Structure 1
Amino acid sequence: MTRVKDTLQRLQLKPKKAKGQNFIIDSSVIREILEFGHPSSEDALVEIGPGLGALTEELYKIMPPTLVEIEESFCRELQVKYPNSRIICGDVRFVDFSQIGKDLTVFGNLPYVYSTDIIFHLLSFAPILKRAVLLLQKEFVDRMAAAPGCKIYGSLSIACQIWADIFPGPIIDGASFHPPTKVSSRIVELRFLKETRYEISDLRWFRTVLKAAFSTRRKKLLNSLGSLIKCDKDTLKCLIKNSGIDPNCRAETLSVEEFVNLSNALKEALLEEQKSL
């Protein structure tokens, strides 16, 4: 704790709530991340948001990681401490991971406020990523791994499970951070797939269907998807039924595979509709 505060004071910085900055101050948390994530010298390591370098110090001993850090003061500090690491000073949400390498192993203590954006960005590079070992808000990890029928099951769950196998790990108390967090965190590993778990005819359309289906969770699927295709309700009802799904069910009850089947069926109908114009 003293070391973190001293470094922040020397850099004339305070943790920025707007950026979700919470620094790990408990060395046992670093050990848990390493034991759970088992990085090796064979890995092409990347660390997101190294901050003051609590995790970086240990990763560096194994294999100098590429570091992605948004705070310029931290970037300068990291460059001095870890001269063999490549430093990318910028927002990870706009980093092109294909320019870093392939089969990347990503580590990071992610800011809560940007977790969704960062996870979706990582998923968009799934084919070139090997795995990610991340520290996230516990509730967020629960949503990633949620099963159909759960209240927390949603578009995040489906997107993650389409592109990765998810392994939730140890739960971390909020007192392990500076400033302390009000909620618990959890370590999680994502093992990325080279291709989507099920064949999706159009990824962009799939995301559109997900967004529409979960925008009004309490509505029946028939009503949620009404704006996607210009057809009468009976036709849409038939399309949904033909993909093996009850039009009167709610989005949260569908499995990942059922969503893929639904998306593909609706896309095919949309293409047929466009041909007839």
Structure 2
Amino acid sequence: MSMTFQAYLEEKVAFVESHLVAGLEKEGVPVNLYESMKYSLLAGGKRLRPVLVLATLEALGQPIERGIPYAVALEMIHTYSLIHDDLPAMDDDDLRRGKPTNHKVYGEATAILAGDALLTRAFGYIAESYQQHPDVKPATIVNLITELSKRAGAPGMVGGQMADIEGEGQALSLEQLEYIHLHKTGDLLVASLLGGGYLAEASEDQLRALHDYAVKIGLAFQIQDDILNVEGDAALLGKAVGSDGERQKATYPSLLGLEQSKKLLRQLIEDAKTLITEAGMGNSALIPLADYVMARNK
């Protein structure tokens, strides 16, 4: 990953992070609940989903400011999912991004409610923010909320999480593993790209390319996660390495082996870049963003 792209990424992440707290409701919210929500929302991370929204708008020649409310909402939903993932009933993690997980700081009950509050706030924030926006049509707002609710809900991320839990300790097929990752990880990435496309009033062909690109990088993202869980640096990851093996979770390395997993990862990234190039967005940040998914070390 070039320093030029690293600078681009840092600039966009800082831009997104400068808007996160403004999206939270504070008035009338119990202090402990508000602090719990803010703690996890501001805990850092790659901010890949909101950056994808902004990069898509840029790729289609539209101002990135238009994407901020949707980008913030996406990060709220992603954050809620991480808070709940870390709970004892789920992955039972003590650390997230090198910091104590939400329930370790605020307790399990508050962590659950903070996740609930972030999820519901996300949809209200999209509606409130875009209702008065001169460049966003009512039909676009409906598309954003419909797409995100589907991708974050039972047919999407939550369904993928359920399949992941049911698959623990089981001998899963490659098809079953792909289902988990297409939904658990991939669907919010699809929502990111399509949301940017809707906000930019992309054509049907462009939306199709953005969807397929998102599917490719979503699978690639999870394969790289699986690889890092085998051979990553715990200090960089901010969490323990080898936990998948200890929990007997099916992963790409466990099914395909490490080298074949890396080969599949490279193929998915090349296919994703080809899709974007053929759709006329080859000069955009979506190309190095795909490389970033493969090259990241945390």
Q: Which structure has the highest helix share of the two?
A: 2
Higher RCO, 1 vs 2 (CA within 8 Å, ≥6 residues apart): 2
Q: Give your verdict on TM over 0.5.
A: no
TM-score, L = length of structure 2: 0.26
Q: Which structure has the highest strand share of the two?
A: 1
